[in-house]
Amino acid sequence: MVKKVVLAYSGGLDTSVILKWLQDQYQCDVVTFTADIGQGEELEPARAKAEKLGAREIFIDDLRQEFVRDYVFPMFRANTIYEGEYLLGTSIARPLIAKRMVEIAADVGADAVAHGATGKGNDQVRFELGAYALNPDIQVIAPWREWDLNSREKLLAYAEQHGIPVERHGKKSPYSMDANLLHISYEGGILEDPWAEAEDSMWRWTTAPEQAPDQPRYLEIAFAHGDPIAIDDEPLTPAQLLAHLNTVGGEHGIGRLDIVENRYVGMKSRGCYETPGGTILLKAHRAIESITLDREVAHLKDELMPRYASIIYNGFWWSPERRALQTLIDQTQRLVNGVVRLKLYKGSCMVVGRQSQESLFDPRIATFEDDAGAYNQKDAEGFIKLNALRLRIEKRLQG
């Protein structure tokens, strides 16, 4: 028996239909929750629509600072990318939404939470793993796994039958899009053919590189303990900083991506992404680490990163293994302080300078000029022979 359910609500077609369907199917009160994580849309219309459709209570929460500070930045301390390219813009938002849904459920005395993720995607896994990790006894309702409204046409027909206001986009279904302060994603439509190039009109955040300004843009990003804190000497909050980099990076065509990825549920999926700020931050963070991290620590982080990325992609943000890895990663960032200078030009982001009070780069040793005895080159002979010993022994045995 479900008496009250908290629904992750966007105000779009799917979740608007779900709001009405939950009331009819479960004869329960529905509380809507809409998260502002920087998707750039006006959220008050979602409130008006939820009221019209009979929501018992409505929550619209500004989570932008928490999203960037407590989820995006910790992820970027690990230089996290999935399958070599994807910066996990959708994946990293889901644990925060799940957390807030569970909190609201506790506050309003709800029996269950509900979401609009389909049975084919990763998001159902992420939402539900998060919910169960934070409240083992919570009930989860996933309408896409229960109803027979398995197409946009059926959803529109249901909406018309029940007086649900929706925006129509003509006969052709629009792209499935997800946006937040880290990225915007596109799936469906022409993108379901992995050979077809995305339409120029699809991209919303970034200028086409060939149409970007002819003059490069230089940026200086300051880091403290692995997190960016200022741009061009101007301190910014986490959300402000990422939003600014999105704007500047987008103007210069930074951060477009077209990939086929392996979903956790087993299928391959083609998607396009715009992540201008994240692309810049990843490049800058690796640059400041290059002069402040010990070699073996840096290499250890690179070895662990793919596992950390899969943990996030697969929805295990709240797992003990992610927390354990995060502790290690955060420990490595204590001395990751300094400034990185970057050059943005027609889709490229190039590091052109880095400096730090904790820099391990010693110009006296690294120089090609006279090092005044700082490095004894004769030491290399024994080093090489010791490392070659096993190779020489093996070759002698082979004859």
Catalytic residue numbers read 14, 94, 123, 176
Residue 116 counted as an annotated binding residue: yes
Residue 16 counted as an annotated binding residue: yes
Residue 196 counted as an annotated binding residue: no
Residue 9 counted as an annotated binding residue: yes
Nearest Cα neighbor of 37 from 114, 97, 80, 101 is 97
Residue 98 counted as an annotated binding residue: no
Residue 83 counted as an annotated binding residue: no
| Residue whose tokens read 């009331």 | 23
HEC readout, the chain:
CCCEEEEECCCCHHHHHHHHHHHHHHCCEEEEEEEECCCCCCCHHHHHHHHHCCCCEEEEEECHHHHHHHHHHHHHCCCCCECCCECCCCHHHHHHHHHHHHHHHHHHCCCEEECCCCCCCCHHHHHHHHHHHHCCCCEEECHHHCCCCCCHHHHHHHHHHCCCCCCCCCCCCCCEEEECCCCEEEECHHHHCCCCCCCHHHCCCCCCHHHCCCCCEEEEEEEECCEEEEECCEECCHHHHHHHHHHHHHHCCCCEEEEEEECCCCCEEEEEEECHHHHHHHHHHHHHHHHHCCHHHHHHHHHHHHHHHHHHHCCCCCCHHHHHHHHHHHHHCCCCCEEEEEEEECCEEEEEEEECCCCCCCHHHHCCCCCCCCCCCCHHHHHHHHHHHHHHHHHHHHC
Q: How far is CA 335 from CA 34, 322, 330, 331, 357, in A?
A: 38, 22, 10, 9, 9
Residue 119 counted as an annotated binding residue: no
Residue 36 counted as an annotated binding residue: no
Q: How far is CA 276 from CA 30, 187, 203, 344, in A?
A: 37, 18, 12, 11
Residue 310 counted as an annotated binding residue: no
Residue 35 counted as an annotated binding residue: yes
* Rounded CA separation 179/342 (Å): 26
Residue 84 counted as an annotated binding residue: no
Residue 123 counted as an annotated binding residue: yes
Residue 348 counted as an annotated binding residue: no
Residue 55 counted as an annotated binding residue: no
Residue 356 counted as an annotated binding residue: no
Residue 185 counted as an annotated binding residue: yes
Residue 109 counted as an annotated binding residue: no
Residue 392 counted as an annotated binding residue: no
Residue 8 counted as an annotated binding residue: yes
Sequence ranges of the binding site for L-aspartate: 118, 122-123
Binding-site annotation, residues for L-citrulline: 86, 91, 122, 126, 176, 185, 261, 273
Binding-site residues, please? 8-16, 35, 86, 91, 116, 118, 122-123, 126, 176, 185, 261, 273
- Which residues line the annotated binding site for ATP? 8-16, 35, 116
